[in-house]
Amino acid sequence: MSASAAPYTLMVADIHLQPDETHPINQTFIEFLQTDARHADALYILGDLFEMWVGDDIGLIQYHHAIKALKALNDSGVAIYALYGNRDFLMRDAFWQATGIQPLSKDVNQITLYDLPLLISHGDIFCQDDKGYQRMRRLLRHPWVQKLFLWLPQKRRLAIGEAMRNSSKTASQNKPMRYMNVTRSAITKFFQQNPQSNHLIHGHTHQPAHHQLTLNHQVKHRWVVGDWRPQAQILKIQSDQTLKLIAFPAV
Ligand SMILES: [Mn+2]
């Protein structure tokens, strides 16, 4: 068997698909679903697949092409799992049914791939220097706040979503750089509380990298999956338990 035929699983994050279907990001993502992803055992989407999701009734229409491509991938036998991001946490049953994606609803999820235990997260939960963001996050994740929001008419939801998108853009331009990244203490504490795995995989910071730290004489790995601008940085986990960041399209 050639090396390329060895089974593998892919992880992506922060694609930020645009409501405009002709956007190059959407086209690249659909191409990815129809090529590299087809040969994977499974695809994990670590949040922020969509630029904004303000309800299944709107999103399933806005992102119609991507939804169809995700469903086709799932129908071809590739299992797809998705975590919520900070832009897309309002997907509900209609979305999971339309795509066949299986939701992983915790902030951090423990999975096992090829006998290797892994911890996966969107990653915003580790950006603890940004207290204002963490407060906002707790509010927006409250089930009642979400229920009330989804009861609003479509126009209102679109307007609120747009306003939040703009204010988050302005806010991130004015924030100190360290607010955009994870804190060392959050990561250290997390690994201490979760000794069952030596690998944490997340996105959100848009700074793809493989970080290592030694805790109690054990090497811990933090894999950051990148965004798709200009090129996708995807994590490939092979059946021999090796992990590596790869580009799509391949360079
Ligand atoms: Mn994010």
Residue the block writes with tokens 């279907």: 21
Amino acid 218: pLDDT: 93
Amino acid 169: pLDDT: 80
Residue 161 located in a structural domain: yes
Residue 48 located in a structural domain: yes
Amino acid 2: pLDDT: 46
Amino acid 174: pLDDT: 81
Amino acid 178: pLDDT: 77
Best CA proximity match to 46, nearest among 80, 75, 2: 80
pLDDT in tens, the chain (251 residues): 444 579 999 999 999 999 988 999 999 999 999 999 999 999 999 999 999 999 999 999 999 999 999 999 999 999 999 999 999 999 999 999 999 999 999 999 999 999 999 999 999 999 999 999 999 999 999 999 999 999 999 999 999 999 988 888 887 788 887 778 899 999 999 999 999 999 999 999 999 999 999 998 999 999 999 999 888 999 999 999 999 999 998 76
What's the CA-to-centroid distance between 225 and ligand 1, angstroms? 11
What's the CA-to-centroid distance between 4 and ligand 1, angstroms? 31
> Rounded CA gap, 67 and 182, in Å?
31
Number of domain units in the chain: 1
What's the CA-to-centroid distance between 103 and ligand 1, angstroms? 17
Residue 164 located in a structural domain: yes
What's the CA-to-centroid distance between 203 and ligand 1, angstroms? 7
Residue 204 located in a structural domain: yes
Amino acid 1: pLDDT: 44
Cα 205 to Cα 38, 67, 118, 181, distances in angstroms: 27, 25, 19, 6
Cα 133 to Cα 23, 148, 175, 179, 239, distances in angstroms: 29, 21, 11, 9, 38
Residue 223 located in a structural domain: yes
Best CA proximity match to 95, nearest among 118, 68, 117: 68
Domain encompassing residue 26:
6-248
What's the CA-to-centroid distance between 83 and ligand 1, angstroms? 11
What's the CA-to-centroid distance between 152 and ligand 1, angstroms? 24
Residue 30 located in a structural domain: yes
What's the CA-to-centroid distance between 180 and ligand 1, angstroms? 10
Residue 80 located in a structural domain: yes
Specify the CATH number for the domain of residue 183. 3.60.21.10
Residue 1 located in a structural domain: no
Amino acid 4: pLDDT: 55
What's the CA-to-centroid distance between 145 and ligand 1, angstroms? 20
